Amino acid sequence: MDFTRRVFVSGALAASFLTTLSGAAEAAPGAAVDPAFTVLDGLSELRFTDLALQRLRSLGITVYAVAPATVITGADGSTVEGVSMRPEYGTFALSPDGTPSHAAGRGLGGVGLRTGQASLEIADIRGDLTDNKVYAFLKVNDQWIGELPLYTGDPSQIRLALSPGAPNQPSTIKGTNIPVTPTQEALDAFEKAFGSSLFTTQDTVFTASGQGHAWPLPVSPVS
């Protein structure tokens, strides 16, 4: 979603993927719409929840990163708990309370699951609050299926923190712990790959977080 520069997907989805707007009014004085920004750089993270990791282990499923994403390991230094992605693009607009009134973006790379007999990958994750879906290209057992809406979330739980930069410097945008739940399409793909359904559309399987630099977009005059 990041916000999708150091997320969300977005991916996917984007995507979590948190709030002080003291500099936004200066970036768009007198604007009648929420100030909009484009993301310049950053990183986003998708971390599996403890619930998801426990259930994946029950089937002997391991997690890996789809390049150019990189793995996030746990405290033991070896267990993969998620992936970190750089953004392909990201835009967002913020309401006064830090809730994004618009957010869209795509992360590079993705995450994969595998056993000795089966695998599932999601890549080029992008998110868009227009329909509150996270899309990704799906690969099941080495066969590309296409781009599908695989995840969703609750926009009311997204908060973005915007810290204004020095004069003529970008602002810093940050979002953390945004819950992500699977769609029925994701559950069907998982069952197709591994022969079992471990989750429901009510389970939080990921949390998304991100941080990066953003630049305000010009505001059109209001008639």
23 versus 48: the higher-pLDDT residue is 48
Q: What is the mean pLDDT of residues 58-69?
A: 96
Q: Which of 151, 8, 154 is nearest to 91 (CA)?
A: 8
What would the pLDDT profile of 160-176 be if each residue is shown by its tens digit? 888 888 888 999 999 88
Q: What is the pLDDT, as a whole number, of residue 23?
A: 34
Phi, psi of 142 (to 5 degrees): 70, 10
Q: What is the mean pLDDT of residues 56-85?
A: 95
Q: Which letter, b or e, does each residue of 2-32 get, where b requires 16 or more Cβ atoms within 10 Å of its Cβ?
A: bbbbbbbbbbbbbbbbbbebeebeebbeebe
Q: What is the pLDDT, as a whole number, of residue 221?
A: 55
Q: Which residues pair with 90 in a beta bridge?
A: 105
- Burial (CB < 10 A; 0-12, 13-18, 19+), residue 158, is buried
Q: Can you give the residue ranges of every domain in the chain?
A: 12-216
What would the pLDDT profile of 6-40 be if each residue is shown by its tens digit? 333 333 322 322 222 333 333 334 444 688 999 98
pLDDT at 2 over 60: no
Q: What is the mean pLDDT of residues 41-64?
A: 95
Q: What is the pLDDT, as a whole number, of residue 29?
A: 42
The amino acid at residue 25 is: A
Q: What is the pLDDT, as a whole number, of residue 118?
A: 96
What would the pLDDT profile of 71-130 be if each residue is shown by its tens digit? 999 999 999 999 999 999 888 888 888 888 888 889 999 999 999 999 999 999 998 888
Q: Kindly state the tokens that stand for 200.
A: 């429901």
- Burial (CB < 10 A; 0-12, 13-18, 19+), residue 190, is buried
Q: What is the pLDDT, as a whole number, of residue 34?
A: 82
What is d(CA 172, CA 78) in angstroms, rounded to the nearest whole number?
31
